[in-house]
Structure 1
Amino acid sequence: MSLKLSLATELKDALRAGEKCKLNTLRLIMSAINYAEIEQQKELDDAAVHVVISKMAKQRRESIEAFQSGNRPDLVALEQAELDILENYLPKQLSREEITVEAKKVIAETGAAGPRDMGKVMGKLTPMLRGKADGKEVAAVVTELLKQ
């Protein structure tokens, strides 16, 4: 079963169970997927759906930071609940050690020698880790490795 179909099934289950937060979050996901399909003029596969959901998760993380700095714990709790639901539909995120291993492989492949070669490394590494790791984390690891 595709991810899109399983989301629709879980939406119905959340509606029947009366889980308001999960229902609202799933509706947001389905809406974002529909907008992306209209924009790209094709039906999205599971990888593209993961990209949509990861964008939504990133927005929630940024909102949480903003609400924490604005001293709004009520909104932080709401965004965190939505983020937890979104993360259930994303692939398992790589740890820093796993990112480091992949980055070292790409650095060896490209022959990168210093910080000025970061573009070469990130150009190859980003598509490999898309959806599996946060871009900021990947960039931090690559910067750290290239400075050595």
Structure 2
Amino acid sequence: MTTPQVWVSATAQDIDYDGETPGSHWKLVGGIDTVQESDFFTYIQVLIGGHRTVKGSPAFYLDGDPDSEWVRQCNNQPPFWVAIDPWGEPRTSIHGAHPTYLVSSAKATVTSLIRRPPEPHPGRTVRPLKVPIKLKRVDGEVFTLWVQPE
């Protein structure tokens, strides 16, 4: 199973794929533990073709990179755009996994969620900082799918 990567941008939702990242204005801030965030993961699966319906609200706990300045300052961040790479780092070794990003339809916010943050797996050597992120719907959609043209 892959760990989707989460990128944020304060300036624009445009993807300017450079062969490795969604663009220079995006910052990689962490990933999504798909086991702990299985309801939210259905939002990703619907867009990449592995699921028909979504569960729960469009919110998740980011496994934030403790070395990321954005993560350390997340409580002071204004609303931001989110781009999720559903394949994460192993994309290059997954047959048929073209560069793909799910871009938030509206700006997201760091907010408190009703449920408590899940505990990181005890075997992880670097403990992520749990950041609660809430996405908004626009015309019923949470994400816009971007796939690199062939």
Q: TM-score, normalised by structure 1?
A: 0.24
Q: Which has the larger radius of gyration?
A: 1
Write 1 or 2 for the structure with the bigger share of strand.
2
Q: TM-score, normalised by structure 2?
A: 0.24
Structure with the bigger RCO (C-alpha within 8 Å, sep 6+) is 2
